[in-house]
Amino acid sequence: MEHPLIVGVDGSEPSLRALDWAVDEADRQAVPLRIVHASSWEWYEGREPSFGINRALVRAQADRVVADAAERAHCRSSSVKVTSQMLDEDPAAALIRESRRASGVLVGSRGRGGLAGLLLGSVSLSVAAHAECPVIVVRGEAANLGGSHRRVAVGVDEAADARPALDFAVRCAQRRGATLDLVHAWRCPAHEAPERPRAADAADTHQERAERAADEALSGLARTHSAVPVHRRVVEGSPRAALLDAAATADLLVVGARRRAGRVGMQLGSVNHAVLHHAACPVAVVPHA
């Protein structure tokens, strides 16, 4: 069965940007797009005072959000099959549940306070952390959102179960006719301790291991996706800095997320948090195998 892309909308400008991006992505993948608007007002009723909530008005507003989003999607592409749904439940919970039957979930980046557009909203962060399929948080600058760079960047580490993120990234690059940038950062503890002398041989060992990890990733891609141009970035420094630098001139940044035993869903580490909050382009979070 063909799994659709799902995009969460709430009528805000960030969610409409996510909708536009989702329509384009569904067109590239030739898959259906399902628009989901979830409102939690009814979920809370009966647990807390409603303070005179006008059910008819709230329902009408929700219906309008969904109708406007569907019309916008149809105007953007007539070739994408678009369906829509309004759900009376918590938005994050709804999108996480829907992720079980989706090829991907797309959400907007919701700003907070004076840093609008920089910090990620709680719904988007929760969905990125717990969804069971790849999640794309649509954020960033106009050039990055418009695909003008023709580059997809992917963070590569040495985890044996990280292959899904790399496979996802190369498929995205292939559909866009874009170059794939493999980004791998390495660090030498001796270089980060100013009271100690720098040992060239220690740095060489760390760099050689990083080069091998990147070469292994490249060799796997050469066997399966030889038509995709691939550039390799092996840099000394923090993964956070390396990925944010790559995102500045990318149309999409792909990172993996590791599941931890005994916990529900994906647990986002500090690097993933950083790129989700600060990347200059959309960020795809892909569960490890």
217-243, pLDDT tens digit by residue? 777 665 666 688 999 888 888 999 999
Domain 1-139 shares a fold with domain 140-288: yes
- What mean pLDDT do residues 84-113 have? 87
Kindly report the average pLDDT of the chain as a whole number: 83
Tokens standing for residue 228? 């995709």
What does the DSSP 8-state code read for residue 250?
-
- What mean pLDDT do residues 3-30 have? 95
With a CB cutoff of 8 Å and minimum separation 6, the contacts of 192 are none
Three-state SS across 120-166?
Answer: CCHHHHHHHHHCCCCEEEECCCHHHHCCCCCEEEEECCCCCCCHHHH
What is the architecture, at CATH level 2, of domain 1-139? 3-Layer(aba) Sandwich (3.40)
pLDDT for 216: 73
pLDDT for 176: 95
- 199-216 pLDDT, tens digit per residue, is 555 556 767 777 777 777
Strands 5-8, 104-108: parallel, antiparallel or unpaired by DSSP? Answer: parallel
**Which helix H or strand E contains 208, and what residues bound it?**
helix 200-224
Please report, rounded to a whole number, the percentage of residues in the chain having pLDDT higher than 90: 54
pLDDT for 113: 38
- 102-155 pLDDT, tens digit per residue, is 999 999 987 433 344 445 678 889 999 999 999 999 999 999 999 999 999 999
The C-alpha atoms of residue 242 and residue 183 are separated, in whole angstroms, by 7
pLDDT for 35: 97
Does 253 score more than 70 pLDDT?
Answer: yes
Query: Phi then psi for 13, rounded to 5 degrees?
Result: -60, -45
Does 262 score more than 60 pLDDT?
Answer: no
Does 249 score more than 50 pLDDT?
Answer: yes
- What mean pLDDT do residues 151-161 have? 81
- What mean pLDDT do residues 10-33 have? 95
- 169-190 pLDDT, tens digit per residue, is 999 999 999 999 999 888 775 5
Residue 12: other Cβ atoms inside 10 A = 14
CA angle 40, 41, 44 (to 5 degrees): 85
Answer whether CATH 3.40.50.620 is correct for domain 140-288.
Answer: yes
pLDDT for 104: 97
All structural domains of the chain with their residue ranges: 1-139, 140-288
Please give the model's pTM, rounded to 2 decimal places: 0.85
Alpha-carbon Rg for the chain in angstroms: 21
> Which range among 47-51, 98-102, 133-137, 249-253 shows the weakest confidence by mean pLDDT?
47-51
pLDDT for 114: 37
124 contacts 26 by C-beta, under 8 angstroms: no
Q: How confident is the model at residue 247 (pLDDT cuts 50, 70, 90)?
A: very high
**CA-to-CA separations, 86 to 2, 157, 245, 265, 272, in angstroms, rounded:** 21, 39, 38, 24, 30
pLDDT for 224: 66
